[in-house]
Chain A
Amino acid sequence: MEYDNLDPLYKILCLALIFLVPLAPAFGLYKIAPADKFLAKGDFSGFKINATGSAAIYIVLFVAIYSQTSVILAGIDSSRVLKNKITSLEKDKPWKIEYTLKLMDQDSVHEIEQTEYAKYVQPDSIICSPRAIHFDIDSKIITFYIDNSLLTSMGDTIKSQLLLRNGYGTTIIPITKKLENTQDRLIKINGVFYKAQSKANQINDINNHRVAVLNKTNSNVTPPVVTSIPQ
């Protein structure tokens, strides 16, 4: 029953090829050695065969291929079924969320050293459902997967929570669902986080150049482009 959806024209084309393939060597023999006495004699599907020359070659090859027809057609069918199954599985494969972290240093201007990330991001830093995560310290990317069916049943936002340690606190990850990228099934997000500060006054630190300062060159005349939400 799985074969019902197969294109019948495709099968007809394959059958036509089975008839045509023996023609090539038969034609070759006819051209090269027309007088050669190649003899084919026997029974085929209730018919008595008695042929010579290139016709005999054609009949022998045709019989040989014909006996394998059902195997070839079954192979075609199963490959088509397999292809359909793969397409169906691709349609339902989970979505991959890639969350690129950027943790800022105490001065809120510079990013922390790459080697320090392990202090703040732990394997259980992200809470989502289902909870399948991987944190790559080199790329600073947290990866997790969400089943297609679960994602479809969710609202506009994917609920996830990021737990950072040692002064970076917790945040709800705002992952707005944008499901146009159905082929790659990949949602990329960037997040910038600042380290928590005490209530101490910073003016001395600024004048002693312990804290960096933003000025007009570090600003935009329009609001910054939002990359924390999939574009």
Chain B
Amino acid sequence: MAGRKASRCDVERKEEPLKRAQRRDYRTLALVTGFILLVPAWAWLLPGDVIHMDIVNIMVFAGIYTFVVIGLNLLVGYAGQISLGHAAFFGIGAYTTAILCCRFTWFPTWLGVLAGVAVAGLIGWLVGVPVLRLKGHYLAMATLGLGEIAVILFAELKGLTGGTIGIPQGLNVKVSQIPALSIFGFDFDTDLKLFFLVWVLAAVVMLLSINIIRSRVGRSLRALHSSEVAADAMGVDTSRQKTRVFVLSAMLAAFGGAIFAHFQRYINPESFVLSVSILFITMVVVGGMGNLWGGVVGVITLTFLPSIIQALPYWIPGVPSGLMNFSNYSLMLYGALLVVFVMFMPQGIAAGLSKAAAYGENRFKQLRDRAGARKYEGH
């Protein structure tokens, strides 16, 4: 009797860790979202003309990239399938809505965004089925090629995309810029409005992604990352799961791209070139592969970094005027930082920071214990 009771308690206790981890994720999501939504208050305390950067504006970009990076993290970090061409889907989302909303001024912008997501999903599926048969470096090369093809098409299909001039100037349309995003008559025409829209939606996407990761689907993705043969043998249809997560990541990238088009109000192929794809991947790597929170940290860090580098000389009083155009060297510093990250925090900032915190805590305890021992000796 006693034995049976004990074993039942056992099972209950064992079930906890997975559920506890999920609760912890939800709590983190609430905290992070709350923290980010308070950013405009800080920005009000630290106005742009004082600190030489526009925090809310940069945070809108970060929010837009967050959609892309969450999708890429599912694809690259969890399922282990590299893509060096996701700027293409970012661009497909942007171009689809820009073309629809500029050519047909009656076209609802929110529907344009959804159309962009749908088109990217369709193209992602058509492309993903053959390309995902490749593995490792070959997949990287193929996706890199896809990204290049997309940029060439954006530039060369002049009648559709406005060529290198872009939309709307390159098109023969009446509007002088892409219309602002409008949902049920409410126009998201300022940075602040878009900030709240983008980050609330990012929180929703994050919530759905956490649910996917902590489910049989998420486990199947991690499983095929680790051993495709074993995942197959366990009944995971690996090629279908790979295609689906690729399509999902393409749709998330397009979602970000479509909002980007309505935020920047003009687009041209420049915004979707290879270095943008690389930036997305770098955000995933710097934040932490297979770590959704790390991805958000990576996005915010790398989105702010160029602005911080540019603003740096203004923050230090008495900088000689020759160093004021220090930002010309910003790319160099940017590259150096990446090398440092990859060398010393290969698992990303999030994991690196928590490791550093654990080290600091241990060290603190050691010092405290030693101090305690010394006191004891003194007596």
Do A and B pair up? The answer is: no
User: Which residues of A are interface residues toward B (Cβ below 8 A)?
Assistant: none
